[in-house]
Structure 1
Amino acid sequence: MARGTIIRAVQPHVLMADLTEPFAYSQAWYRRRGAMLVEITTEDDITGWGEAFGPPELTAPIVTWLAPLLIGQDAIAREALWQALYNRLRDHGQRGIVVEAISAIDIALWDIAGKVLGEPVHRLLGGPLRMEIEAYATGFYRRERDDHLAYLTEEAEHRLSEGFRTLKLKAGWGLAEDIALTRAFRAAIGPDVGLLVDCNHAYDAPAAIAFGNAVAPCDIGWFEEPVPPEDIDGYLEVKARQPIPVAGGEACFARWGCRDMITRRAADILQPDVAACGGISELKKIADMASAFGMRVNPHVWGTGVALAASLHLLAVIPDNPPGLFPRAPLLELDRSPHPVRDALLVDHIAARDGRVAVPQGPGLGITIDRAALDRFRA
C-alpha cells in the first residue's frame, strides 16, 4: 500500500448547540442539537470527514474504541476495514450506536479515497445517473405553542417561496388530532403541493391503518414510519389495509437489518440513512438489494453537511425504479428545522435552488469543514 494512504489518526468531534426555540417529534423534544463528526488523517495529511446519526455523546466513545483497529491500516481498503470493525463488535453491536459509529468512519474513508484519486465519490461509485436532485422540505415539527396550524402554514409558505414543491408534515400527536391537522394542512397548502407524512413510529398497526384511511383523500405521497421499526408484521398490515404508500427503514442497520423489510416487501419506499446504516459502502449494498426486489429507495437524511454530501453522492447513483424513459428519480430529504451546527459547519453551504440540489463535484465528498465552527460548537 502507498504510504500516503496509511491512517495516522482518527478523531471524533462532538458538537452541540442550544436551540432558540425547542421543537418536538412524536418521541421527544429537542432543546439542543448536535453532531458527531469523525476526522481521519493519513500519513500524507489527507483528511476525510464522516458523520454518525444518533446521540453524539454515545457514538464518539465507540469511534475512540475502534480507532486502534484503524491506525496503521490502508485507508483505501474500505471493505476490509468495514468488515474488521463490524466483526470486532458483532457480538455486541449489530445495530444502533455501533453501526452508526462505523457509518461515520466509512464515510470518512470514502472522502479520503476520492481525495487520493482526485475524483468525487459518485464517480467512485460507478458514475452518476443524475447530477441534480429534487429536494423535499423536512420540518413542520411541534412547537411550544397552541396555534399549530398557524405556524405550520407559515412555515409552508416560507418553504414554497424557497422553491420546494414537496413538504413533509410531522404527525404522532394522537390519532384524532393527526387526522384533523393533516386535513387542515392539506387545505392550507392547496392541492398542487406534494405532501408526505411522518409519524416517527407513534402508532400501532390499527391506529396507523385508521389514520391512513382517514387522510387518503389528502393525496399523501407516502406514510413514513407508521409503526415501530421492529414490527415488520405491523408494516405489512398497514401496507395491505390502507392505500397510502408506506415508507420506512431509517432505523434499520446494515444489510442484515434491512433484509426482512426488503425480502418481505414490508414497505413501498425504503429509507436507509447513510450515517446510520453502515455508511456509503453499506447503503449502496442495501440499495442494490432493494432494486433486486423492485423497491424504491429514498434515503433518510438528518444531520450536517457531511451526511448531506454523502447522501447526495449516493442519490446520484441509486438506480431509477423502475428504469425507463420517464423514471421516478429518488428525492433528497432536506432538513429545514433549526440546527446551528449544520448551518455553520461547511465553508460552502449546500443549498437548494428552485427546490433542487446539485451533487458536489469536488474530490471526495466535495466539502470543506470550517474549523472555526468545530471550536465554536465543541461540547
Structure 2
Amino acid sequence: MEITNVEPIRLERALDTITRRGGTSEQNITVTPVVVKVHTDEGITGLGESFVFDPTGEEAKFLEHGINALSKKLVGRDPREVTRLWHEMYVEVKRSGAYRALSAVDEALWDIKGKNAGQPVYELLGGQVNEIKAYATFPHFKESERLVEDAVWLSEKGFEAIKIVGASVGVKHDQERIETISEDLPEGMDLAIDVNTSYNTAEALAVAETASEHDLAWFEEPISHLDVQGMAELNERVSVPIAAYQTQTPHYPAIEHLRADALEIYQPTLDLVGGITSANRVATFVEAFDKQLVPHTFGPLINYAASLHVVAASPACSLIEFAVFDDEIDDPGEFIASPYVKNQEAVYVQDGGTISPPEGPGLGIELDEDKVEEYRV
C-alpha cells in the first residue's frame, strides 16, 4: 500500500466564539477545524484532524501549509508504517513547530491502519481497558448561582464533574466561586477549575489552597506550562491534584514532569501533542508513574474520536473531557461541533455519563461530503 495524496481541507467554524482568559490577556476563541485526508493506491482514505482557536481562520492557513509540507515526505510511502513515518516527520516538525499538522496526519495514518485491519484503533492499541466516563467542560461565563443550576442539568445527564474557567477577574473571585459552587453542587458531582496559565506561583497557591479545602477534582494549568519546578512545588504543597500538559509537545517532556512530580493529571491534546502516537506514549509514561491521564479534548469530532481510542486503551485513564458548547441544547451529551461528520452520533455521552469510541474500523468516522463542501473555505 502506498500514499498517493495528502489533502488538507480548511473548514468554516460551526460554533460561536467564546471569551477565554489565557496568561495575561483575554481571547475570543472558537473551533476552526482542518481535516486531512490521506489517500492510498488501494482506495483506503485515512481521516485526521486538528484545529485552531482563531475565529478568523487565518491561523488555519498555517496549519494547511504545514500539512502540505509534510506531504512531501509521505507520498509513495506505506501508511501502515506509522511509527517510522512519525519519527521522520518529527525531524522536520521539531524545527518548524508544525505539531498540529503532525498530529492530524498521524491520526489519518492510524485510521488507515485500522481500516486495513478491519479493526477500531483502540483494538490495535491493545483493546479497551476501562469504562470511560465524561466530565463536562462548560466554557460559559456566568454567575456562580447560574453555574450551579447548569450543574444540576449536567448531573442529571450523568456527567462526573463540571469544569469551569477561572482567572477572569482574579484570585479572590476564583476563591469565592469555588466556595459557592462546590457547596451547592449536586451530590456526587465534582468541580474542577481551569485558569489557562494565568497566575503566578503565589496567586496559584492561594487558589489551590481554597481548591484543596473544598476537595476540587483538580486545578488545571495554574501557572506557565513551562514552569515545571513551579508546578512541582504546588503539587507538593496542596492536596488538590495539579493538572496540565495540554500545551506540551510531543511526549518527551512528560518524562521531566514525571521525574519532578509536577502533575497528578496529564492532559495531552491529540491535535497538538503529536497525534495518537504521542498521546499513547504519554499514557504509557503516566501509567508507569501511577498518575492519571485525562486528555484535553476541546475540539472537533474526528480529533475527539482519536482521543477516545487512546483513552479506551489506557489503564491510566477512565475519564475524558466533553465540551458542552451550547447551554440551551436539549441533550448536553450530543456532539455539535462537527456537522460535516455523517455519523456524529457515534460520539455521544450516554445517560449515566459513559462514552465509548466509535466501533467502526479505524477511527470509525465518516464524512458527509456535501457538508464538507458546504463548510470548505
Relative to the length of structure 2, the TM-score reads 0.89
Name the counterpart of 2:217: 221
**CA positional deviation for 1:314:** 0.8
- CA deviations 1:79-122 (Å, max 9, x no partner) are 111111111343333xxxx1221011000000001101111111
Cα distance in 2 for residues equivalent to 1:6 and 1:18? 34
Contact 1:53 1:302 in 2 (8 A): no
- 1:66-215 equivalences in 2 (<5 Å): 66-93=70-97, 98-130=98-130, 132-142=131-141, 148-173=143-168, 174-215=170-211
Using the TM superposition, give the Cα deviation of residue 344 of structure 1 relative to its aligned residue in structure 2, in angstroms. Answer: 4.7
Q: Pick closer, same or farther for the CA change 1:32–1:299 going to 2, 3 Å.
A: closer
Q: Judge conservation of contact 2:104–2:271 (CA < 8 Å) in 1.
A: yes
Q: Is 1:62 matched up with 2:66?
A: yes
Specify the SS of the correspondent of 1:119. coil
Evaluate the alpha carbon distance shift between residue 274 and residue 18 of structure 1 in structure 2; reply closer, same or farther with a 3 A threshold. closer
Query: Are the equivalent residues in 1 in contact too, given 2:114–2:121 (CA < 8 A)?
Result: yes
In structure 1, C-alpha distance between the alignment counterparts of 2:15 and 2:126, rounded to whole Å:
40
Residue 21 of structure 2 is aligned to residue 26 of structure 1: yes
Any conservation in 2 of the 1:35–1:341 contact (CA below 8 Å)?
A: no
Q: Distance in 2 between matches of 1:78 and 1:30?
A: 36
> d(CA) in 2 for partners of 1:58 and 1:155?
37
Contact kept in structure 2, 1:341 and 1:373, CA below 8 Å: no
Q: SS state of the match for residue 192, structure 2?
A: strand
CA contact (8 A) 2:167 2:198 kept: yes
Distance 1:367 1:241, change over 3 A: same
Helix, strand or coil for the counterpart of 1:90? helix
Cα pair distance change 1:195/1:65, threshold 3 Å: same
How many Å apart are 1:226 and its aligned residue? 0.7
Deviations 1:253-311 (A, max 9, x none): 11223221122111011111122111111111121122222222111112111111111
In structure 2, give the amino acid aligned to 1:337.
Answer: F
Distance 1:259-1:111 versus aligned 2 partners, 3 A rule: same
Which deviates more, 104-113 or 342-351? Answer: 342-351
Query: Is 1:351 the equivalent of 2:348?
Result: yes
Structure 1 counterpart of 2:286, from 290, 294, 306 = 290
Give the whole-Å Cα distance in 2 for the aligned partners of 1:368 and 1:82.
Answer: 24
1:303–1:369 Cα change, 3 Å: same
Q: CA deviation at 1:18?
A: 6.2
Cα gap change, 1:187 to 1:57, in 2 (>3 Å): farther
* Distance across 2 between alignment mates of 1:239 and 1:116: 44
User: Are the equivalent residues in 1 in contact too, given 2:229–2:260 (CA < 8 A)?
Assistant: no
SS of the equivalent of 1:64 reads helix
In the alignment, the residues of structure 2 paired with residue 205 and residue 346 of structure 1 have an alpha-carbon distance, to the nearest angstrom, of: 45
Whole-angstrom CA distance in 2 between matches of 1:216 and 1:348: 38
Give me the whole-angstrom Cα distance separating, in 2, the residues matched to 1:361 and 1:340: 20
C-alpha contact 2:254 2:285 (8 A) present in aligned 1:
no
Shift of 1:378: 2.0
Name the aligned partner's letter for residue 213 of structure 1: E
Change (3 A) 1:269 1:24: same
Greater mean alpha carbon deviation, residues 154-163 or residues 210-219: 154-163
Please list the CA deviations of residues 149-194 of structure 1 after superposition, one character each: whole Å capped at 9, or x if unmatched.
2442343233223221311111112111111112222233245311
Q: CA deviation at 1:361?
A: 1.3
Deviation at 1:201, TM superposition (A): 0.9
Alignment deviations for residues 6-40 of structure 1 (CA, whole Å, 9 cap, x no partner): 111111111223645x4222224336431111111
Instruction: Provide the residue aligned with 1:333 in structure 2.
Output: 321
Question: Is contact 1:103–1:274 with CA below 8 Å preserved after alignment?
Answer: yes
Unaligned runs of 5+ in 2: 53-58, 327-334
Worse overlay, 41-50 or 183-192: 183-192
Asked whether the 8 Å contact 2:93–2:102 carries over to 1, the reply is no
Q: Give yes or no for contact 1:303–1:342 (8 Å, CA) kept in 2.
A: no
Q: How has the CA–CA distance of structure 1 residues 208 and 77 changed in structure 2, closer, same or farther, with 3 Å as cutoff? A: same
Work out the CA distance in 1 between the residues paired with 2:145 and 2:62. Answer: 37
Say if 1:343 and 1:335 are closer, same or farther in 2 by CA, change over 3 A: farther
Aligned partners of 2:151, 2:118: CA distance in 1, in Å? 40
Structure 2 counterpart SS, 1:36 = strand
SS of equivalent residue, structure 1 residue 29: strand
CA RMSD of aligned residues (A): 1.9
Any gaps of 5 or more consecutive residues in structure 1?
Answer: 321-328
Q: 1:14 to 1:154 in 2, by over 3 A?
A: farther
Partner of 2:330: none
Counterpart of 2:364 in structure 1 is 366
Q: Which residue of 2 aligns with 1:324?
A: none
Q: How far off is 1:208 after superposition?
A: 0.6
Residue 11 of structure 2: SS of its match in structure 1?
Answer: strand
Q: Give the conservation status (yes or no) of the 8 Å contact 1:12–1:37.
A: yes
CA distance in 2, matches of 1:331, 1:18: 26
Distance 2:336 2:192 in 1: 25
Distance 1:341 1:301 in 2: 12
> Is the 8 Å Cα contact of residues 48 and 302 (structure 2) preserved in structure 1?
yes
Letter in 1 for 2:360: G
2:227 is matched with 231
